[in-house]
Chain A
């Protein structure tokens, strides 16, 4: 106890270092994981490659619906599509396959999520049974898009 009193500030610093430092070290060690609650700020430290002409390529995730009349693809407005969820959660939702594989098809939760997406597709005048999620590579020179990943979700 006397040791604790004598070296009070050493113990405070050690406690603070553990409390603040461990969640941060966990995030550094396992980049897809993050502890909450913790004082760790989002950083997004990745980079883009810049060409000699100053152009670069970067990635974009885009959701599409299908026009029920013409059968053509319609780019969905993401903010409206996931409203009232904040737009920064879009990536998480796409990584989670829009929640379509979280529960079995016979469950109430599955029906709830498919009905939700159907309503969202309807709001944007799309066919109510298909959502296409693509990861695109975009060249800033001419904004040409290359599909690097594609998933088609059927809301049956």
Chain B
């Protein structure tokens, strides 16, 4: 038994080192600070974190049929509680954007999102937002809080920074793995059954997903669609291999993920916008550190934008019972634009020769 435990321990140690190298983002550079600002501005602009709409949903639609921790409650929270959560979240997002007490506000935002999404999921579906929720601890435990901030917090250690990013990579890889495993039945070498076409037809004819390239997908030869049916589960399950192999393969997998989501947006009209920032944790800071590290950011432009957006959303929450700066219908095209940008950035990271890590890991 001891022999096996030692063997697993040695393998796990090697894996840990490989993951730290693959996911390394320079501790001394500003990349994650820029990511923090972009994440904050996006959230404020599109009111990504807002649950005021729950106030108008009747209690009878609260559905306790899943093992949702929030089943300990039998109803949606009271209106005053939702308002407090929304306003606190808004204050946190403004603080995160401008970099004021980032660790505290990120962790408060993390718990609010975990709780409020838990209530919202009791309507019926547990959705993809957990990846977005787990970005907040990344902001709290990396150098994102020390860079380009109105009140830099410099007491994060490099060790914590590296480990937080590596752990998030494991979470992403595992999340995709859980999405890939149930699709194994798609790999049936049988053109008379198809998994993607179920997504496509139901989306096209039931959910009105008829935009961009969706009308043309039905003309794709069935054998090509069948090949994709085999490729997708394998690709989703293979993340750990790419993560462990090398930094180059990790970024190749991330680039392929961006292409995959771009394809989803174009053909199935499902933009999965929360994933933009989940993969963005690795792509945006890396791109900034590789290509734009000498760029001069005018913080006195960014800060007022964050505060103005925050005030706008506060007005919406208090007086209009909505916090949407841009209508939700724009999300498909917002998703398309962001996936195109992220794909290009991921490709440019792949093409650039990476400098060696700043200090030995």
Contacts and interface: CB of A to CB of B under 8 A. Distances in A.
Contacts of A140: 201, 205
B53 A84 contact: yes
A153 interface: no
B67 interface: yes
Contact of A36 (B56, B67, B178, B188): B67
A16 B12 CA distance: 11
A112 interface: yes
Interface stretch (B98-106, B192-200, B301-309): B192-200
A50 B222 CA distance: 9
Interface residues of A, number: 64
- Summarize B's interface: helix, strand, loop or mixed: helix
A95 B61 CA distance: 10
A109 B58 CA distance: 7
Interface string B99-137: 000000000000000100110010111111011011000
Contact of B193 (A40, A43, A49, A92): A49
A113 interface: yes
B201 A93 contact: no
A152 interface: no
Nearest to B123: A89
Contacts of B125: 42, 88-89, 91-92
Interface string A80-100: 000011011111110110111
B193 A93 contact: no
A139 to B, nearest CB: 11
B194 A47 contact: yes
Interface in A26-59: 26-28, 32-52, 54, 56, 58-59
Nearest to B197: A48
Interface of A: 6-10, 12-13, 16, 20, 24, 26-28, 32-52, 54, 56, 58-61, 84-85, 87-93, 95-96, 98-100, 102-103, 109-110, 112-113, 116, 138, 140, 143
Closest 6 CB pairs of A and B: A92-B124, A99-B60, A9-B12, A45-B182, A84-B53, A43-B182
